[in-house]
């Protein structure tokens, strides 16, 4: 995977060819194909591995902020900066993740699972959801909804960045705007449900 990352950094998506990856890694092409069926497969696996490394970093240095929005701002600044600092690699990974190739699905699912946990952890003010956290206080439906939608918006904004429509900071700003709207909507929904319960009790 390190070889694929280096090739992507040098020349983007088109520069990652299975034959070149095998040659640089010193393995037979057939051996490489047993583990990774395509460039999309190996690039998406690389992103999943980097997200696993991010989990460890966030555990020791959680996103900072006095409230959930500030911590989400901190988190998305960290992950966006970490990805786009290698722009050619970032564009290659985005293309691989959106390819729709069957072999990419497992990596996409694993990546989304890790990102969901990290986003919820940021909202809660911890670096990473531990097993104890997940079992004693499982993610609520609202938390999972917010995390899923923010991932989708962040990814879409990254695609815009990849196409040159806006810069890195706009990616974070768009995602944070969505976070504010979502948390406000959920707060209003909670208030509406509380009022409904009160009305039923009075009836």
Q: Confirm if 186 and 142 have CB atoms less than 8 A apart.
A: yes
What integer pLDDT is reported at residue 39 of this predicted model? 86
What are the residue ranges in the chain where pLDDT is below 50?
A: none
pLDDT of residue 55: 92
Find the helix packing angle between 87-97 and 105-124, rounded to 10°: 110
Q: What gap in Å lies between CA 43 and CA 101, rounded to an integer?
A: 12
SS3 100: coil
Give the pLDDT confidence score for residue 78 in this predicted structure.
96
pLDDT number for residue 154: 97
Q: Which two tokens stand for residue 43?
A: 């690039």
In sequence order, which ranges of 26-167 are alpha helices (DSSP H)? 29-35, 39-60, 68-84, 87-97, 105-124, 131-136, 141-162
Q: What is the pLDDT of residues 173-193, one digit of tens each?
A: 999 999 999 988 877 666 556
Domains plus CATH for the chain?
Answer: 40-202 (1.10.357.10)
Sequence-separated (6 or more) residues with CB below 8 Å from residue 152: none
Give the per-residue pLDDT at 37.
Answer: 81
Integer Cα distance of 47 and 26 in angstroms: 22
């Amino acid at each position: 995977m390190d070889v694929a990352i280096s090739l992507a950094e040098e020349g983007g998506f088109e520069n990652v060819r299975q034959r070149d990856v095998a040659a640089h890694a010193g393995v037979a092409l057939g051996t490489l194909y047993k583990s990774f069926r395509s460039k999309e497969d190996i690039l998406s696996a690389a992103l999943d591995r980097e997200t696993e490394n991010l989990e460890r970093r966030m555990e020791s240095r959680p996103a900072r902020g006095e409230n959930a929005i500030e911590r989400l701002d901190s988190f998305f600044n960290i992950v966006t900066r970490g990805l786009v600092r290698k722009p050619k690699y970032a564009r290659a990974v985005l293309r691989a993740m959106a390819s729709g190739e069957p072999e990419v699905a497992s990596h996409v699912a694993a990546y989304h699972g890790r990102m969901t946990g990290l986003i919820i952890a940021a909202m809660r003010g911890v670096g990473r959801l531990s097993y104890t956290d997940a079992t004693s206080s499982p993610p609520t439906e609202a938390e999972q909804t917010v995390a899923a939608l923010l991932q989708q918006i962040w990814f879409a904004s990254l695609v815009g960045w990849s196409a040159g429509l806006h810069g890195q900071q706009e990616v974070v700003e768009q995602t944070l705007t969505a976070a504010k709207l979502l948390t406000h909507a959920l707060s209003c929904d909670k208030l509406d449900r509380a009022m409904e319960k009160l009305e039923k009790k009075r009836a």
